[in-house]
Amino acid sequence: MNKKETVVVTGAGGTLCGPIAVDFAKKGWNVVLVGRTMEKLQATADKIHKEGFDCLIITADVKDEARMKEVRAEVNAKYGRCTILINGAGGNQSDAVTTMNEFDPAELEEGHAGRGFFDLDMGRFRDVIDTNIMGTVIPTRVFAEDMIAEGHGAIVNFASMNTYRPLSRVPAYACAKAAISNWTQWIAAYLAPAGIRVNAVAPGFFVNDRSRKILMTPDGGLTSRGEHINYNTPMHRFGQAEELLGCVNWLVDDQAAGFVTGITVPVDGGFLCSAGL
């Protein structure tokens, strides 16, 4: 790509999308950081500024279509039309996570220990689905109009290992991320005549602030769940955010991946290719 692209990154304050945004900025592209928390976005912006580049920070809820249209107007006024969209906003909530791997009859008794499926807060369950699914659908709908006007564009959605395997304890997140792969295929076929390619990445186990508490002990060791994940990952380690950059850069490159659309690429250290046996 020789043209200076305008890139919108949602969830740009996160562990994975922050480095992606910084990498785009280092290419000299116009980078827009979108997220709900200014403090997290500013941390990413500080890294971009440290590299000698500029960016635009916009706080917004990606589930709010009216607000996302305002974001598009701000982007157009500052940089022009968006041609690359990274749908990285998402995540899970503890109230939508079980502490049990399987049903126990005690779960139906009042005052039982632990949190099973029948204890989950359905409001939080819906929130997780909304954030991950509608938080991808709405920005796509908003910024695809810019890409149509430009005659080309590339969108990268964020799927997960939960897209392929419903990992224990995270039913809402697994449900939502499975939908992302299907949505990626549907919208890729729909937008192909407009010259817009849509793909997804499915990160394996990368440690962020939330998962660190689940996978690692305070002294930097591994919890039993962390050990189990590493055992079932052929590379026997967690991923580093920078290890997503090559895949994302390939997917948004109209020359290198110009005939690639509708796929979800695992970046998982081999997790999906091993049964752990």
Catalytic: which of 79, 164, 173, 190?
173
Going 47 to 51 to 54 to 55, the CA torsion angle's sign is negative
Give yes or no for a contact between 94 and 138, defined as CB atoms under 8 angstroms apart.
no
| Stated length of the chain | 277
- Distance separating alpha carbons of residues 124 and 97, to the nearest angstrom: 9
Distance (Å) of CA 108 to CA 37, 82, 101, 121, 155? 38, 51, 15, 15, 44
Q: Going along the chain, which residue ranges are E strands?
A: 6-10, 30-35, 56-59, 84-87, 153-158, 196-203, 264-267
How many beta carbons lie within 10 A of that of residue 255, not counting itself? 7
Is 173 catalytic? The answer is yes
* Tokens 């020359």 belong to residue: 255
Residues classed as catalytic: 173
